[in-house]
Structure 1
Amino acid sequence: MIQKFISLQWKEFLRSASFQKGVAIKVLLFIAAAYVGGMAIVTGAGLYLGIKKMIPGVDPMLIVNSFIIFWFMADLLLRYFMQQMPVMNIKPLMIIPIKQKNIIHFLLGKSVISFFNLLPLLVAIPYCITALINGNHSPLNVILWLLSIIIITLSINFLNMLVNKSNTVFYIVATVLVSSIACQYFGVFNIAQYGGMVFYGLYMNPFYIVVPIAILALLYYANFNYLNNRFYLDSAISKKVKEVNASDLSWLDRFGSMATFLKNDVRMIWRNKRPRQVVIMSFLFLFYGVIFFTQKVYNDMPAMLAFASIFITAGFLFSFGQLVPSWDSEHYKMMMSQNIPYRQYLESKWYLMVLAVLVSFILSTPYIYFGWDKYALIAAGASFNIGINTFVTLFGGALNRVPIKLNEKAKAFSNTNGFNPTQLLIALPKLLLPVGLFWLPYYLADYNLNAGIITLAVSGLLGLVFKDFFLTKIEKVYQDGKYKTIAAFDEK
């Protein structure tokens, strides 16, 4: 039966109309995973000898076990934001004689096949091999310790599934993580010390492996029980009736004929999970400057400061804007059948991105604390985002024909729904062009910071001057691909 499920999943992948795009995305992800995996292997191979050289006379296993708890905490956080949960169309399977438990076991087993579960192995296995070759360690202890690490990694995988499904589990785990980090930071409780005792105990007493095995079994059962109790056709096909709260958006009427589009976008963001999550996460871009402005090393690298300044006001532009028109994929055909000028539709998206950049610029005012030169860079970056990057983003949207489910509980950082490899190419000028426009006059003017800032700001103003020209060209691209986009959005 498991073989049959695998066959169905493979056929679903091959027969998808977005098969070529799916392959391209997976090739890019494979390249990135291969690079990260190679770095993990090198790190694991050199970790034992590196610790032994830096801290002579101390067993590297003791040091590793003291800090491995932070690895697992970071692993859980990374999984929550980036790991995709296993998905399978179960509706057709619910009305044919297939045991319910077999489907659930397949879904849970599918989650194990993940790069997040492979990555710890790529570090731990080379580390253990190096430890056995260069240290005086019992092979039995090392091997069972490695198995314990694997089992704990799988436990985190199933814990992450519960965190994503249950708000109660999410709040409990979040409280424990935040409290643990706070206690470690303020010196209330030394997590590294006590965590090291636990993991070093798994190494010294390898038969304690029964404890991680019991935890893994418990988490697996909890996931199985959760899915089993909700595996009903009625809940799968029934529609929930929600009370919609009307909002006063009359302040958008000043935009004239585009007000209707703007109001629809605001309501879409407010009422649906996916766009709301993306907008919330785009707020984090405001803190990008803290990474660069607080480090003295970047004071001698003004190009990097310009790079950071672009990001501070571009959160909404990069996260929400790049998925135009995929946000409207569920009703795109209906929109295109109306007597609506395409220009108004595109211009409304442009105004929405401009408004978001201006709001981000206002919220970035506290960066004045780091100096007026830094704030001037942010202002120049905002000008470039409004005058250039908004048009580049809209142009990239014309090549984006992957539909988005608005109420899908997706990961803001890693979900590829609505993404295609062309977006990566379109992102290059949005990131590299402003850095080049800043650095070239800065260099030619004998390292004059003001020259770079003025050039960056003026480039954005010039983009505004040629706004009608850019929108006309972009409109033509959308019109030429209109029916291809409608056909692609029709795919379910």
Structure 2
Amino acid sequence: MDETPGGLFTIFITTMFLGLGAMSYGQLIFSWESAFFDGIMARKNDFIAYVRAKYYLQVLVTLIAFVPIAVVVTISGKMSLFLLAALMLFNPGPNSLLTMVLATLNDARIDLDAGTFMNYQGMKGSQFVMTFLFVLVPVGIYKLLSLAADENTAVVILSFLGIIFIAFSNWWLKKFIAGTFMHRKYKSLEGYRKLSA
């Protein structure tokens, strides 16, 4: 393993940049189509495939962010590439899947025709806190494990958690995300019909 594991601030910033796109999209994953959700739910379609496509988009965004960050980390030498890979696995694993579970509870509509500057439609205060927590959780797990054992063990466990969640992503998508959304379908659809922040 590399000898430069990375400082806490470097790990925090790297985790934030790795997951920023996926978290921004993921916390409003159903609200983006809120104006069209009545039509989406009225059609006979495979809702699991719809949710899976949303998850794959989050994974793709994380992978796209990983490439330039890996180049910067390699050039700067401020963080281990193994730690970066572990953080990259943690984002589409626990972070993305749990973000999607929490997004099923968001029934706020987003008007896509509204301007983007200072537009907080669909956003609630809890989502700002959630984004911050999803950056702190992997950093906290890494730091606690590196203090309790060593940094190699922390990287391995962080990677293992990410791999386990990714391996069981279909189960998460079917049981928790699609299941929770379908259970709250009418409440969500009612919220999507209202145009308020």
TM-score when normalising by structure 1: 0.37
Q: One-letter code of the match for 1:326?
A: S
Gaps of 5+ in 2: none
1:397 counterpart (103, 116, 123): 103
**Whose helix proportion is higher, 1 or 2?**
1
Check conservation: 1:392, 1:430, Cα contact below 8 A: no
Residue in 2 aligned with 1:455? Answer: 157
Match of 1:333 among 38, 45, 49: 38
Secondary structure of the corresponding residue to residue 320 of structure 1: helix
Please give the alpha-carbon distance, in whole angstroms, between the structure 2 residues aligned to 1:371 and 1:308. Answer: 15
Q: How does 1:243-282 map to 2 (within 5 A)?
A: none
SS of match in other structure, 1:364: helix
Deviation for aligned residue 1:455: 2.0
| Aligned partners of 2:5 and 2:80 also within 8 Å | no
* Alpha-carbon spacing, 1:305–1:455, altered in 2? closer, same or farther (3 Å): farther
* Residue 302 in structure 1 maps to residue 4 in structure 2: no
Matched, 1:378 2:84: yes
Q: SS of the counterpart of 1:314?
A: helix
Determine the structure 1 residue equivalent to 2:193.
490
Matched-pair identity in %: 25
Equivalent positions of 1:21-40 (< 5 A) are none
The residue identity in structure 2 corresponding to 1:462 is I
2:130 equivalent in structure 1: 426
Contact (CA 8 Å) 2:7, 2:79: kept in 1 or not?
no
- The Cα of 1:378 is off from its aligned counterpart by 2.1
How many residue pairs are counted as aligned between the two chains?
A: 190
The amino acid that maps onto 2:130 is I
Matches of 2:14 and 2:162, distance apart in 1 = 14
Report what 2:94 is aligned to: 388
| 1:396–1:422 CA contact under 8 A, matched in 2 | no
Superposition pairs of residues 155-174 of structure 1, within 5 angstroms: none
Partner of 1:189: none
8 Å Cα contact 1:309-1:377 kept in structure 2: no
Residues 312/425 of structure 1: CA separation in 2 closer, same or farther (3 Å cut): closer
Q: Can you list the C-alpha shifts for 1:420-465, whole angstroms capped at 9, x where unaligned? A: 23324533541232122201220012xx332322222121011112
- The one-letter code of the counterpart of 1:396 is L
CA distance in 2, matches of 1:439, 1:360: 23
For 1:169-184, list aligned pairs within 5 A. none
CA contact (8 A) 1:313 1:378 kept: no
| Letter of the 1:370 counterpart | S
Q: Larger radius of gyration, structure 1 or 2? A: 1
Offset, 1:397: 1.0
Instruction: Pick one of 49, 52, 61 that aligns with 1:356.
Output: 61
Higher relative contact order (CA 8 A, sep 6+): 2
Write the distance in 2 (CA, Å) between the matches of 1:343 and 1:426. 25
1:312 deviates by: 2.2
